[in-house]
Structure 1
Amino acid sequence: MKPSLFISCLLCISIFMDSCNQKSTMNTNPLLEEFSTVHNTPPFDQIQSSHYLPAFKEAIIKAKADIDKIVSSTEEPTFENTILALEYAGKQLNDVSNIFFNINSAETNEEIQAIAREVSPLLTEYSNDIVLNETLFRKVKTVYDSRNKLNLNEEQLKLLEDSYKGFERKGALLKGEDKERYRSITSKLSQLTLQFGENILAETNGYKLHITDEADLSGLPAGIIEAAATVAKSENKEGWIFTLQFPSYVPFMKYADNRELRRQMYMAYSTRANHDNEYDNKEIITQIVNLRLEKAKLLGYENHAQFILEERMAQTPEKVNTFLDELFARSIDFAKNEIAEVETFAQKNGLKDQLQRWDFSYYSEKLKAEKFDFTEEMTKPYFQLEKVIDGVFGLANSLYGISFKENKNIPVYHKEVKAYEVLDEDGSFLAVLYLDFHPRSGKRGGAWMTNYREQYIKDGKNIRPFVSLVCNFSRPTEDTPSLLTHNEVTTFLHEFGHGLHGMLANTTYQSLSGTNVYRDFVELPSQLLENWGTEKEWLKLVGKHYKTGEVIPDELVDKILASSNFQSGYLSVRQLSFGMNDMAWHSINTPFKGLVTEFEKEAMAKTELFPQVEGTCFSTAFSHIFSGGYAAGYYGYKWAEVLDADAFKAFKKNGIFNKETAASFRKNILSKGGTKHPMELYVAFRGQEPTPDALLERSGLVK
């Protein structure tokens, strides 16, 4: 809140009163007050960057007091006074952290980033003070050891088991120097992973292709040109500006006829954080993987992958590698044939050199157009963002009976963000949903779902979640609304699937709620919802021409469906290569001392389908594993594809809008969070464990 201004002609008494009011206002921190907003949502309209650091410091003090109360209690440790007390400790700190780190991803600035660097070690220290407290761990262990005598229900027992394992896996059994080294490692990792992401954002924002010669726009669709002109105009420049943000970069690589400019864009994107400058991530990668290895060894594991996978469906690095290798074997011949087909096509259409990476999207799109009489750009007029939102909301209503109502009284963190109240079929309040769709300099790339508050039940009251979906779709121009490609529609469905996992959560404990599940299970709801994006019945409901209102023609829908498996072998191998790269980095058993680029080249060698390009490096911008939560877990996308392909067969069998099937999925999976082992939840819905057959069949990877 802004302090009141002084006016020189005021009487002395007025000046004194204003001074007191100013001091009072400056001492008010909305993050530390009870939120008096609609549904007690974060008061974004009151929060300033300067509020965060003092809020963190105060909330940490309060959280420590909660922990001290548990530790100093002279009562016999029980589920209620120890495990439940831990579950509810530090609520304000959790709220402040959720708000701050979500803003740091979606609407950051230099001040926010500086605060993140300062506060991350404080949070790590606080976390370590909990799990490394020997007295507290003894109390947790006392309750855990007597678990079979406590008559706990299934969810209580799961919370107890997870609490105990959490202490063990975070160093509670360490002693002396090992315990202090663990503290040091975790603190350093929190700083390094943060810096990794900041470097990528800086490198992404730091490059712009400024075109002033109209001839260089040859091949680009009118909408892409218009968007680039809008960017240039916003920077008071003539011509057109293309960036490394996906809505600009991807269509440029697909459609720009100028091969040299495609090469420049490709090199800028693929060399991010690999320029030996202040934003270089190579040394950071070396430090991250070595510290993760050292931490794993301190905890008694051979490597970081073994440590992570103990708490995943896949269980072991060997099982993950076997899974990746089996899918690779089923995909590679298809991929090689697809690459050869594009190269032959390119040479017939004027390419005199060897097919390079900056050529592949361009000639693939032309080949796709020739084979199917279809390009992604053809779909955009029928997928106006606002109509797609309505269509996705309608799908959720058809399946689960839930409805969405925009509420402009709910504060948002940016003027482009919209907030919705989500209501269940009986009209009861389910959640608040924030939607944030367009690229900004303060927003990281990609698309994601997150929570500002997770669902839980306390004192008989069901505390409902605040869910946010963040994407990077083309923003509207002066003449055209935001229009999505079919691929972007699929991206929205994916994130909305995650959103449903959060919004429909219905568990007692926050730590077991919604998306708090194994990482190789969390992608099931998101990838399952993508399937509706290739169903004619739904596409006909959502696809409306933005000018005429005409329903998307059957002919165009047929082309979308016919081309849906175009280059599925290549796409499979590409995704598998990322998983193999991840597993290689996190399966090292001795400290890494080599060159990041050479290690990556060896890790991904068998998946390589193009000539190597000097200077490029995928790992230096692999935020999923070096600044996100997917270390030793990127394989989970393919793992969940097996699950979602098998699960969708149930919907296909009973009807894609069948409420009974949807109700079963909601009851057995979406509402359950992490209250049971994922395979138990899956079998409860499907009646059987999945096999890869449905995925291979859906992808056309069956010879």
Structure 2
Amino acid sequence: MSILTTYFQTPHNTAPFSKINNSDFEPAFDTAIQQAKEEIDSIALNILPATFENTIEAMAFSGITLDRLSSIFFNLNSAETNDELQQIAQKVAPKLSEFSNDILLNEKLFERVKHVFDQKDLFELSAEQQTLLENTYKNFVRNGALLDSKSKSRLREIDAELSLTSLKFGENILAETNQYQMHLTSEEDLAGLPEGVIEAARQLAESENKEGWIFTLDYPSYLPFVTYSSNRALRKELTLAAGKKAFQNNTFNNEENVLKIVRLRFERARLLGYPTHADFVLEERMAQSPQKVTSFLNDLLQKAKPAAQQEFKALTEFAKQTDGIDRLEKWDGPYYSEKLKQERFNLDDEKLKPYFKLENVLEGAFKVAEKLYGIRFEETKNMDTYHEDVQTFEVKDSDNNLIAVFYTDFFPRKGKRNGAWMTSFKPQYIKDGKNERPHVSIVCNFTKPTATKPSLLTFNEVTTLFHEFGHALHGMLADTTYPGLSGTSVYWDFVELPSQIMENWCYEQETLELFARHYETGEMIPMELVEKIKESANFQEGMATLRQLSFGLLDMGWHAQDPTAITDLKAFETEQFASTQLYPDVKENAMSTAFSHIFHGGYASGYYSYKWAEVLDADAFAFFKEKGIFNPEVASGFKNNILSKGGTEHPMVLYKRFRGQEPQPEALLKRAGLTK
């Protein structure tokens, strides 16, 4: 038996990372897949009549060992990968895809599921059981159970190809990110850069035994450079490098991968009887149809565009007055936006950063969770981690019961993809009377501490941490019976509500007083800075909204129509961006070739959900504001009706139970300052 397929003899059954070798994974997957197959066979070949318990519930608890192993492996492949893990992923992905198809195309198993589904009125099922039954039945149908054998076989081929192409897409972006460096040796080239950014770049150069300073495409290096460097040529170089990721004439080019992914998705949808991939996806979303999503995005576009155009005009004039810039380019945007923001609000991210020491911000997030939900976080050193940067916490309630295990992983490194995300190593579920508690992790890419400074966050990074922590709370406070309905296993356009609502607390004085202290003097953040943070919250909100909408519309462009005639990725993109474009186009840059959300993550036909969830979070937070941001009754309603319920009922049912009404879009427009 592999260490990876047995119960871990560790605190709270946590993953024994230090004892796992890369070579353990492949045999462990073979064992776990075989074990899961046997569990499925025993359900499919059961001679007793099919019931909810012996079929639907039995399936919900099958393959737990395989799911656990997959979580550990694919989380490592995102946060601490190497060539060997990537090669294993290429071998394992098709096996998992084939196993999943073995279940979904198993005719005897589907017969039993269909029997229970057709007789559902005879069973006395709870709301959660009804959801599980419907999801299980739909999962079969949406994965080809009603197809003829030839179509089923083609579906298997498509799924295997899709899983490999998507993996390749992600690997190419990581390779391009890692391959690029801007190595500077002249001090003049550092003009305008904050001291901490310079120090981090020098440390990176030293770690590679080089003189001078190294800047990379990792966000903590890239973003401050394009925001503060007064050297326009270097800003251009770095911006172009970021925009060219996987869109260059080399082995990491993703153009063919993108076209292949969208064509395969389209073919798959047609095979299953849907007009497009977006129709297929949106059937299982709050938004329900591509038409509804497109009209939602266009409606917001109509309301945000005048504000965005005005903001862009003001920025263009400001750059012209400041430095005689005749044509504002993409590499000028962050730089002049920051300058204009400083002038307008006298608010400089660098002035704010000393009040946002990473450890204090994390502690602040913990205090907010304690005030709202009565849980506390205790750091522990007795749990294994996959990297020395990872911290571990036990999350407990007021009676000292374990609620969850929580991991944090905050700094960039070579084997870690860019961005920020929440994930889980073990879901919550209730089996044999025991409530199994979840193991949840958040992964970010913040500036590492240097020899002289701790990790200090920009305000944007503070909201990022709170955002991912909101997802984590959704996972940690889960209280459902079945693992597949637990925590963040909800409709994709509902999953961002718990994360986005948490960002609102960052703008509140009551919250900032909990943690925003100067890292050297311990002085509380001055209230005039808090006021300025609030005032500046809507700075260039029109432009930011347009940017989000452009990504949502690009996603729908790829997935809400027949993509088979598209051969020129760049030309197609330019067409999709026409209604949202502010900056001049850069011919050597493309968005789609590095658009991981939709080609490597789970957001295909779902990128709109960030804006959709903003409507939900603005409306929900308006309720908190009305009653008090730490009001125990509202917090308890949010916890009991939304956070703990996972995907056990339709999201709108859960939302209305919490709020007493459907969400009002006006709350978002008002908060964003896009409506008077």
Q: Name the TM-score, length of structure 2 as normaliser.
A: 0.99
Report if aligned partners of 1:290, 1:592 keep a CA contact under 8 Å in 2.
no
Tell me what 1:691 maps to: 664
Q: Does 1:343 align with 2:316?
A: yes
Tell me what 2:66 maps to: 93
Please identify, of 285-294 and 83-92, the stretch whose mean Cα deviation from structure 2 is larger: 83-92
Aligned with residue 294 of structure 2, among 321, 326, 347: 321
Q: Map 1:14-25 onto structure 2 (within 5 A).
A: none
Tell me what 2:16 maps to: 43
Report if aligned partners of 1:289, 1:592 keep a CA contact under 8 Å in 2.
no
Q: Map 1:492-503 onto structure 2 (within 5 A).
A: 492-503=465-476
Equivalent-residue separation in structure 2 for 1:276 and 1:176 (angstroms): 41
Tell me what 1:82 maps to: 55
Tell me what 2:29 maps to: 56
Equivalent-residue separation in structure 2 for 1:304 and 1:580 (angstroms): 14
Equivalent-residue separation in structure 1 for 2:584 and 2:31 (angstroms): 55
Q: Does 1:387 align with 2:387?
A: no
Give how far 1:425 is off: 2.2
Q: Does 1:648 align with 2:621?
A: yes
Equivalent-residue separation in structure 2 for 1:338 and 1:562 (angstroms): 16
Tell me what 1:230 maps to: 203
Give how far 1:68 is off: 1.1
Report if aligned partners of 1:286, 1:592 keep a CA contact under 8 Å in 2.
no
Equivalent-residue separation in structure 1 for 2:632 and 2:409 (angstroms): 29
Local SS of the residue matching 1:600: helix
Tell me what 1:3 maps to: none
Tell me what 1:425 maps to: 398
Equivalent-residue separation in structure 2 for 1:367 and 1:93 (angstroms): 52
Q: Does 1:117 align with 2:90?
A: yes
Equivalent residue letter for 1:261: L
Q: Does 1:659 align with 2:632?
A: yes
Give how far 1:592 is off: 3.6
Local SS of the residue matching 2:425: strand
Equivalent residue letter for 1:236: N
Equivalent-residue separation in structure 2 for 1:206 and 1:592 (angstroms): 33
Equivalent-residue separation in structure 2 for 1:29 and 1:178 (angstroms): 37
1:296-336 Cα deviation digits (max 9, x unpaired) = 00000000000000000000000000000000000001001
Q: Map 1:288-327 onto structure 2 (within 5 A).
A: 288-327=261-300
1:609-648 Cα deviation digits (max 9, x unpaired) = 0111111001100000000000000000000000000000
Equivalent residue letter for 2:7: E
Aligned with residue 478 of structure 1, among 415, 436, 451: 451
Equivalent-residue separation in structure 2 for 1:572 and 1:375 (angstroms): 22
Tell me what 1:259 maps to: 232
Equivalent-residue separation in structure 2 for 1:487 and 1:479 (angstroms): 23
Q: Does 1:163 align with 2:132?
A: no
Equivalent-residue separation in structure 2 for 1:408 and 1:219 (angstroms): 41
Tell me what 1:449 maps to: 422
Aligned with residue 330 of structure 2, among 353, 357, 362: 357
Q: Does 1:127 align with 2:85?
A: no
Report if aligned partners of 2:262, 2:563 keep a CA contact under 8 Å in 1.
no
Local SS of the residue matching 2:649: coil
Runs of 4 or more above 4 Å deviation: none
Tell me what 1:66 maps to: 39
Tell me what 2:501 maps to: 528
Equivalent-residue separation in structure 1 for 2:54 and 2:511 (angstroms): 50
Tell me what 1:466 maps to: 439
Local SS of the residue matching 1:357: coil
Q: Does 1:215 align with 2:188?
A: yes
Q: Does 1:192 align with 2:165?
A: yes
Aligned with residue 175 of structure 2, among 190, 193, 202: 202
Report if aligned partners of 2:304, 2:546 keep a CA contact under 8 Å in 1.
yes
Equivalent-residue separation in structure 2 for 1:395 and 1:403 (angstroms): 10
Report if aligned partners of 1:229, 1:241 keep a CA contact under 8 Å in 2.
yes
Report if aligned partners of 2:566, 2:572 keep a CA contact under 8 Å in 1.
no
Q: Does 1:623 align with 2:596?
A: yes
Equivalent-residue separation in structure 2 for 1:633 and 1:645 (angstroms): 19
- Structure 1 gaps, min length 5: 1-27
Equivalent residue letter for 1:67: I
Local SS of the residue matching 1:358: coil
Aligned with residue 577 of structure 1, among 546, 550, 555: 550
Aligned with residue 286 of structure 1, among 234, 259, 277: 259
Equivalent-residue separation in structure 2 for 1:189 and 1:128 (angstroms): 13
Residue-pair matches, total: 676
1:499-529 Cα deviation digits (max 9, x unpaired) = 0000000001111111000000000000000
1:468/1:630 CA distance change after superposition, 3 Å: same
Aligned with residue 368 of structure 1, among 341, 355, 368: 341
Give how far 1:73 is off: 1.4
Give how far 1:556 is off: 1.3
Please identify, of 511-520 and 551-560, the stretch whose mean Cα deviation from structure 2 is larger: 551-560
Local SS of the residue matching 2:215: strand
Local SS of the residue matching 1:633: coil
1:530-578 Cα deviation digits (max 9, x unpaired) = 0001111211221111111111111211111111110000000000000
Local SS of the residue matching 2:150: helix
Local SS of the residue matching 1:404: strand
Q: Does 1:595 align with 2:568?
A: yes
Equivalent-residue separation in structure 1 for 2:60 and 2:546 (angstroms): 42
Equivalent residue letter for 1:621: A
Equivalent residue letter for 2:146: L
Give how far 1:33 is off: 2.5
Q: Does 1:409 align with 2:359?
A: no
Equivalent residue letter for 1:153: S
Equivalent-residue separation in structure 2 for 1:131 and 1:41 (angstroms): 30
Equivalent-residue separation in structure 2 for 1:540 and 1:155 (angstroms): 40
Equivalent-residue separation in structure 2 for 1:523 and 1:434 (angstroms): 20
Q: Does 1:557 align with 2:530?
A: yes
1:170-225 Cα deviation digits (max 9, x unpaired) = 11111121111000000000001111111111111111110100000000011111
Give how far 1:590 is off: 5.0
Equivalent-residue separation in structure 1 for 2:192 and 2:240 (angstroms): 20
Equivalent residue letter for 1:260: A
Local SS of the residue matching 1:388: helix
Report if aligned partners of 1:106, 1:442 keep a CA contact under 8 Å in 2.
yes
Q: Name the TM-score, length of structure 1 as normaliser.
A: 0.95
Give how far 1:474 is off: 0.3
Report if aligned partners of 1:453, 1:465 keep a CA contact under 8 Å in 2.
yes
Give how far 1:415 is off: 0.6
Report if aligned partners of 1:513, 1:673 keep a CA contact under 8 Å in 2.
yes
Aligned with residue 608 of structure 1, among 572, 581, 586: 581
Tell me what 1:634 maps to: 607
Equivalent-residue separation in structure 1 for 2:460 and 2:514 (angstroms): 17
